[in-house]
Structure 1
Amino acid sequence: MTRPIIRFQSVSKYYRRRQSRSLREAFVRSLSRRAADGLGPDEFWALENVSFDIAPGEVVGLIGPNGAGKSTSLKLVSRVVQPTRGRVDVYGRVGALLELGAGFHPDLSGRDNVYLNAALLGLSRREVQRQFDAIVAFSELEAFLDTPVKHYSSGMFMRLAFAVNVHVDPEILLVDEVLAVGDNWFQRKCVNRIGEMRRQGVTILFVSHSQDLVRSICDRVLWLDHGRVRADGPADRVTRQYLSHDLDRMEAAMRPRAGAGPRPAGGKRAEITRVTLLDEAGQARSVFQTGQRLVIALDYVAHEPIPSPVFGLAIHRQDGAHVCGPNTDFAGLKLPDLAAAGRIEYTVPYLPLLDGLYLVSASLHDREGLVMYDYLDRQISFRVENRPDSRVKERYGLMTLQGVWTHHAGARA
């Protein structure tokens, strides 16, 4: 049986929220902990009784909310910190992309920091010289190589750190959310490089809040929650479980402002009093399936005549991705002047959105866009949730294009 390259055995790690300011305070804290036979009031478990094995060549994603223990797990693997309890075994050279700037001296140039960082990772000067040109070329920082890194942006820090770590021939690569600070081009370059290392058999632990990125890179996912392993399994299954849990939590947090009831009058010239989401039967609901009919109904009241009104909508996914922004003016619908109460509806015959939580904004303004009579910013939510037996078989991305695959055997290229 192959020996794991990383093994966590009943690992726990605690931290203090703040350091003692005096010897007296430290003494009182130590007494408090002994009296309770546990942690003091300013201490918490970042990890608690965590056990797992990672085999050589596995690509494992760590997901979970902030404070779940993901970064602490990587720090334990890289020996930046030691466990409070339990044991962490690591067999192999580790390349770690943890906190930005870790392993760099701010007063040294980029060139000097390449040698410094590589030395901290165990490379000799001769080995660094052999890889130096490749490191610089990958980072694309030739013009700034002799600039002190304290003048680097966060994206430049990430470029240099990533370039060093992937060129020191690590057997284990740790990546902790650092790709989030780079530009899109360099992020894609890094993902491609991670893919190459994966094919070469490098073991990779990858932390990210992007579930799509985790699914595309990782074979297996560990879901951490409050310092414990909540799920461990294939990337697709575990990320779906986590997304469903995350959507439940977000939906519950938004429920008090979901706009189900009428809004009180606020002294405005005109206002949107209610936003309702309807299905094909005209029933109000908050959960839809891909392909279903969706009607967004806006009830309004004009307290005085409103000439040339325009109603608009914006739909965002829960991660902030802007889905669409239709309005009556774009659609060529010229509305009469508003003088009383009424309703306007926006109908989507076939909802193309895939699984996720979506937020709806609504607005009422004049045609020139100079006067905003009312605006509800992401105060209404709905959820798209497809059953396993759904006709829609697509899983990834924002929406389905309803494309059809065909195969032509023997066709020429």
Structure 2
Amino acid sequence: MRAPATAAPAVVVEGVSKTFHMPAEQAHTLKERVLRARHLRGGSSFVALQDVSFSVRQGEFFGIVGRNGSGKSTLLKCLAGIYRADEGRMLAAGRVATFIELGVGFNPDLAARDNVVLNATMLGLSPAAARARFDEIIAFAELEEFIDLKLKNYSSGMLVRLAFATAIQADADILLIDEVLAVGDAAFQQKCFDVFGRLQDEGRTILFVTHDMGTVVRFCHRALLLDHGRMVAIGDPELVSEQYLRLNFPEQEEEERGQLRSGDGSATIQQAWTEDAGGGRRTTFLTTEHCIFRARISFAEDIEQPNINVVWVNGQGQNVFAVSTLAEPGGSGSFRAGDVVELRLSFVASLAPGEYKVSMVLSRPGSGLDFMDRWEQMFSMLITSTHAAGGLAELPHELTIEPAPAVRLERTA
């Protein structure tokens, strides 16, 4: 998705740093703070942001990604004015609305009606405007039957629906959104996607923190990757997503990856990767794209018809796609000591959007457990889609709805 290149900056961040000081002991009263001041000055420091600089143009959908503790939410809270940066400056050209923490601004002892007015007022709406939009907010959140229930009795899913439905009513130029899709079912997520599309059409500026790389690739004009408070990458969402996956599964973690590998060494998986139809190596694919899995295998001894298996595992640990040479006509073939071969597996990436770990197993014929080389979680793949999808796969299909033919009923004597 191309960013609005000619638009003026809506958000400017220059050299921002933020450090949190954590005392060795906490003071719970003013007396403790005074009498134990020397002890409280000790402790440690945590650097949350280090010299972060970027700008976001008006009308741009800007993704902020990174592992837990990378500084994503701290950055958004600095932009929202919740935290004050220790160094640098932050500018926002327009009204800012935030959706950062679930339930912030809500009173658990009040019912939905009072909370909507309270929260919407905090977002900049007048009480009259908030009351006028109440029915629309409740309908979006699908909470019509629970408007008189106190919020302390709401589930987390109900809370996030109400909070998001209220936040999007803000007449703001810039929206700061943190992990709105982390809670909620598929139907609510589709509503969020629809809202994102509408906000884009309206030219709103959105800074969006998420762990969902599919959403980043689908909606964002650009993305920023943070790690340990530092900027690692900024730019094309697909490239940033691939770097995020590499951070989550770094090549340098040889010891950890070695624990996921076993076998007698009579055959070895030297290398494995995925590429597109043009031969370019990639780990991010749309559900409609052609994907080619390749692996280079070497043999240390003669062997007839080894079993070769490749498996894709989703985030819930389910094997959603598996290919075995046992099921292929002719099997895998015959190999001699010293042979080096390249396996090629071509398929359409019609899995459900999400992150997948790719594993591969070489085993002796006749037994799937006599491993020559078993390499689990060799690398990660990211599957994205242009629309919300459910289930384990997104199979090619055609759906039509037509008038039903008239049914002629005959009476029997």
- What's the TM-score, normalizing by structure 1? 0.68
Give the C-alpha shift of residue 314 in structure 1: 5.7
- CA distance in 2 between partners of 1:164 and 1:287 (Å): 44
SS of aligned partner of 1:350: strand
Mind listing any 5+ residue stretches in structure 2 that lack a counterpart?
1-5, 276-290, 299-307, 329-341, 350-354, 364-368, 386-391, 398-413
Counterpart check, 1:352 vs 2:347: yes
1:180 matched residue in structure 2? 182
SS of aligned partner of 2:181: helix
1:13 matched residue in structure 2? 18
Give the C-alpha shift of residue 260 in structure 1: 3.3
Give the C-alpha shift of residue 357 in structure 1: 4.1
Give the C-alpha shift of residue 244 in structure 1: 3.4
Give the C-alpha shift of residue 235 in structure 1: 1.8
Matched residue count = 339
SS of aligned partner of 1:179: coil
1:383 matched residue in structure 2? 379
Give the C-alpha shift of residue 125 in structure 1: 1.1
Which of residues 298, 321, 330 in structure 2 aligns to 1:324?
321
- CA distance in 2 between partners of 1:349 and 1:61 (Å): 34
Give the C-alpha shift of residue 292 in structure 1: 4.8
Give the C-alpha shift of residue 328 in structure 1: 11
Q: Is the 8 A contact 2:179 2:209 kept in 1?
A: yes
Counterpart residue type for residue 38 of structure 2: F
Change in 2 beyond 3 A, CA 1:186/1:361: farther
Q: Is the 8 A contact 2:10 2:57 kept in 1?
A: yes
What's the Cα RMSD here?
A: 4.4
Change in 2 beyond 3 A, CA 1:63/1:320: farther
Report the more deviating stretch, 244-253 or 55-64: 244-253
SS of aligned partner of 2:250: helix
2:281 matched residue in structure 1? none
1:121 matched residue in structure 2? 123
Give the C-alpha shift of residue 261 in structure 1: 3.5
Q: Is the 8 A contact 1:257 1:379 kept in 2?
A: no
SS of aligned partner of 1:180: coil
Give the C-alpha shift of residue 359 in structure 1: 3.8
1:51 matched residue in structure 2? 53
Question: How far does the alpha carbon of each residue in 1:228-280 deviate from its partner, in whole angstroms, 9 at most, with x for none?
Answer: 22222122232233333433258646322122344xxxxxxxxxxx89665xx
Counterpart check, 1:27 vs 2:29: no
Mind listing any 5+ residue stretches in structure 1 that lack a counterpart?
33-40, 263-273, 279-283, 298-310, 333-346, 364-372, 386-393, 404-413
- CA distance in 2 between partners of 1:188 and 1:72 (Å): 27
Change in 2 beyond 3 A, CA 1:384/1:291: farther
Which of residues 178, 190, 193 in structure 1 aligns to 2:192?
190
- CA distance in 2 between partners of 1:2 and 1:294 (Å): 45
- CA distance in 2 between partners of 1:294 and 1:328 (Å): 14
2:63 matched residue in structure 1? 61
Q: Is the 8 A contact 2:272 2:378 kept in 1?
A: yes
- CA distance in 2 between partners of 1:275 and 1:160 (Å): 59
Change in 2 beyond 3 A, CA 1:253/1:53: farther
Give the C-alpha shift of residue 349 in structure 1: 6.3
Q: Is the 8 A contact 2:271 2:297 kept in 1?
A: no
Give the C-alpha shift of residue 2 in structure 1: 6.2
Q: Is the 8 A contact 2:7 2:59 kept in 1?
A: no
Give the C-alpha shift of residue 107 in structure 1: 0.7
Change in 2 beyond 3 A, CA 1:107/1:226: same
Give the C-alpha shift of residue 296 in structure 1: 10
- CA distance in 2 between partners of 1:62 and 1:172 (Å): 15
Give the C-alpha shift of residue 170 in structure 1: 2.0
Q: Equivalences for 1:5-404 in 2 at 5 Å?
A: 5-17=10-22, 20-21=26-27, 22-23=32-33, 25-30=36-41, 32=42, 41-249=43-251, 252=254, 254-262=256-264, 284-287=270-273, 290-292=291-293, 315-317=312-314, 320=317, 322-324=319-321, 350-352=345-347, 357-359=357-359, 380-383=376-379, 396=384
Change in 2 beyond 3 A, CA 1:167/1:361: farther
Q: Is the 8 A contact 1:276 1:296 kept in 2?
A: yes
- CA distance in 1 between partners of 2:266 and 2:378 (Å): 12
SS of aligned partner of 1:383: strand
Q: Percent identity, aligned pairs only?
A: 37
Q: Is the 8 A contact 1:315 1:358 kept in 2?
A: yes
- CA distance in 2 between partners of 1:210 and 1:275 (Å): 39
Question: How far does the alpha carbon of each residue in 1:45-69 deviate from its partner, in whole angstroms, 9 at most, with x for none?
Answer: 1112222222221110001111111
Counterpart residue type for residue 15 of structure 2: S
Q: Is the 8 A contact 1:313 1:362 kept in 2?
A: no
Change in 2 beyond 3 A, CA 1:256/1:216: same
